[in-house]
């Protein structure tokens, strides 16, 4: 049996404010990830963010160490799961005493709701990113097991607030060769890899598919795709091939937005009672990152938490997903479910939707509660049966 998996190169113009977030793990970063500095050994450090103890914290992502790091409670903490900010439209500006320049990117938030920004400093022969916490008038960096405070810092801010034709992201979406080889050996199948030609995509002359893919395949450790690999090794050859194809086709992203605005490619989720369109979104609340609904006509997003519906002016919108809705229930989520967020304790939350009172409304599936919660009419309403958003 033979599978041919294409390396897919996607033309992806930076949406919304000119940046977006991609999930990462174990040191993996997309090709258009924002570079934030250098480690002491010369390794490149990228800018990310991650949940820890209810806070959404700026992180330093170091591929050569197969990990990301945040600072919290006086310590440097290694995290395996994180998000990476991607753009070619950001710059670093000088700031002091916890101040942030106009247009600075709010990278995260404390569980009390204070916004956290990205900063970076020169320290011990490194250029290291960390968190700017205005109320503390400091930038904290994670370094050598400690959380170190600085007063003078370069805070990450937008250089341009609108998309630019030069902001072409050539994203190589591919399963790493080690995953393919492991699946091949385990299932005794012949899985080969083939790269698509960039063709006439604007700006493509700046990139080489073979070089970009080789860098990914040769330099990334196998652990970034460990979850994918685990899935492959326990599946039949046909299912393994399908899974590889799913991973190869993914170009989904979460795009920052606000005040009811919807970026291009937003995933449609349903209709409100007045016929208004509803889109898939998520927002930070009380230490949780909660999937919910974005209603442009209502000027914001709405999430369910603690028995109530909460409105949010700042939120993220799920975009460009090759997705479908699959029937499920009682806390179960099907294979390929879209992870929309996490609780402060680290439990994954998935995107679900239900028919309610003449609406088709998305919400959060929380497996440990065995239900899908939607926000409606000021309340958090649970449903035992629901649909789940899945990757096709």
> According to the model, what pLDDT value does residue 276 have?
92
pLDDT in tens, 98-146: 667 777 788 888 888 888 888 888 888 888 889 988 888 888 999 999 9
Q: What is the DSSP string of 131-185?
A: EEEGGGTEEEEEETTEEEEESEEEEEEES-SS--TT-EEEEEE---HHHHHHHHH
Query: Among the ranges 92-101, 201-210, 369-378, which has the highest mean pLDDT value?
Result: 369-378
> According to the model, what pLDDT value does residue 235 have?
38
Provide φ and ψ at 173, rounded to 5°. -100, 110
pLDDT band at 381 (very low <50, low <70, confident <90, very high): very high
Share of the chain above pLDDT 70, in %: 67
pLDDT band at 284 (very low <50, low <70, confident <90, very high): confident
pTM for the full predicted model: 0.49
Residues 385 and 390: their CA atoms lie apart, in Å, by 16
| 212 three-state secondary structure | helix
Sign of CA dihedral 163, 51, 9, 209: positive
Domain extents in the chain: 2-13+164-249, 20-158, 260-391
């Amino acid at each position: 049996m033979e599978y041919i998996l294409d390396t897919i190169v996607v033309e992806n113009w930076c949406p919304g404010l000119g940046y977006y977030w991609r999930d990462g793990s174990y040191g993996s970063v997309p090709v258009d990830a924002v570079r934030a500095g250098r480690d002491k050994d010369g390794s490149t450090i990228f800018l990310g963010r991650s949940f820890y103890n209810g806070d959404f914290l700026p992180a330093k992502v170091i591929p050569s160490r197969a990990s990301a790091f945040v600072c919290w409670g006086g310590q440097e903490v290694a995290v395996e799961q994180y998000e990476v900010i991607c753009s070619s439209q950001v710059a670093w500006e000088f700031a002091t005493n916890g101040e942030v320049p106009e247009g600075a990117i709010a990278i995260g938030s404390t569980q009390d709701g204070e916004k956290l920004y990205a900063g970076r400093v020169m320290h011990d022969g490194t250029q290291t990113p960390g968190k700017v916490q205005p109320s503390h008038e400091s930038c904290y960096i994670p370094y050598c097991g400690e959380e170190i405070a600085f007063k003078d810092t370069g805070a990450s801010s937008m250089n341009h607030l609108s998309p630019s034709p030069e902001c072409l992201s050539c994203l190589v979406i591919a399963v790493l060769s080690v995953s393919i080889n492991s699946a091949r050996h385990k299932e005794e199948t012949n899985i080969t890899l083939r790269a698509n030609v960039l063709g006439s995509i604007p700006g493509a002359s700046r990139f080489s598919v073979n070089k970009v893919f080789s860098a990914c395949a040769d330099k990334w450790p196998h652990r970034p795709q460990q979850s994918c690999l685990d899935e492959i090794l326990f599946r039949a050859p046909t299912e393994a091939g399908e899974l590889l194809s799913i991973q190869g086709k993914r170009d989904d992203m979460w795009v920052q937005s606000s005040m009811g605005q919807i970026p291009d490619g937003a995933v449609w989720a349903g209709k409100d009672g007045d016929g208004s369109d509803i889109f898939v979104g998520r927002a930070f609340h009380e230490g949780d990152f909660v999937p919910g609904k974005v209603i442009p006509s209502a000027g914001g997003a709405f999430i369910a938490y603690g028995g109530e519906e909460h409105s949010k002016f700042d939120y993220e919108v799920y975009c460009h997903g090759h997705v479908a809705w699959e029937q499920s229930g009682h806390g179960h989520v099907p294979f390929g479910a879209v992870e929309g967020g996490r609780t402060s304790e680290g439990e994954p939350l998935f995107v679900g939707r239900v028919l309610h009172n003449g609406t088709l409304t998305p919400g959060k599936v929380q497996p440990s509660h065995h239900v899908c919660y939607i926000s409606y009419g000021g309340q958090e309403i649970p449903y035992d049966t629901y649909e789940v958003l899945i990757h096709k």
